[in-house]
Amino acid sequence: MPELPEVQTTIDGLNKKIRQRRIISTWNDWPKFSSVEKTQGHTIKKIERIGKNILFYFTDPHILLVHMKMTGHLLVGEWKIGRDGVIPIKPKEMKERINGFIHFILVLDDGKMVAFSDVRKFGKVVFGTLDEIENLPELKKLGPDALKISLKDFSERVLKKKKTIYQTLLDQDVVAGIGNIYVSEILWQVKVHPLTPANKLNKDQLKEMCKATKQILSKAVKFRGTSVDDYRDASGKRGGYADHRLAYGREGEGCKRCEVKMKRAKKGGRSFHYCPDCQKLN
């Protein structure tokens, strides 16, 4: 699933390419994405992020919310989606080349198109007024942004939870933006076992964890996110953070600190990666 760095990278690309453009027509092939039809005639003022949600703010008081969920990504241009990524095609060929992965398109007044590709169709799209969208329950209950949260807030929110620190950091109501990839990276850096109860962490561990969260996510934004599965940025390019991973997806490989083989395990149906030597469960 695209996490904070991937969503931020997408937003940065969208803001560079489509701000102040008017939507002149739309296309969709799936009922859950039909609300994009209401964007026709609206001009895009800016695109912002709340947690993992992408918000298109229009010049009148309306918003289009897009959540990419597990396999979604937004692409700008005229594209054909292929096994190896995206291939530019001429605008007139766009509809002829649409395959099963693209489920909605916004056609802009400068000839560009914004296409939403989602292999598993888990993505979420909602159109509404400024007040309606900003007061959606799923946005109102989100915790502080992972890049902005204070140490005090981070510590208080984590210590309230009896579940594992792995599950706690994945809980968007505790802190918004972290998913499977970066929780494994964060916990490896601070040498905390993923199954450690969140309310058992000490002051020093919480301080280092909050610091590591911001460092790792900022670094991942710098490298334009992680492409280990479907994620591509707004130009269809892969993110570069996969080459800098120290924990996620490295099961069977030697730990970068102690060379003991990394392990993969599951909790609550979600996978995590850790070093059994550096990250002992006390």
Residues marked active site are found at: 2-3, 52, 270
Q: Residues 76, 235: contact at Cβ < 8 Å?
A: yes
Structure token pair of residue 117: 């590709």
CA-only gyration radius of the chain, Å? 20
Q: Residues 79, 236: contact at Cβ < 8 Å?
A: yes
Crossing angle (nearest 10°) for helices 203-222 and 4-18: 30
10 Å CB burial of residue 31 (0-12, 13-18, 19+) is: exposed
What does the alpha-carbon distance between residue 235 and residue 154 come to, in Å, rounded to a whole number?
Answer: 34
3-state secondary structure of 100: coil
What does the alpha-carbon distance between residue 59 and residue 255 come to, in Å, rounded to a whole number?
Answer: 50
H-helix or E-strand spanning residue 97: helix 94-97
Q: What is the DSSP letter of 192?
A: -
Alpha helices in 190-226 (DSSP H): 203-222
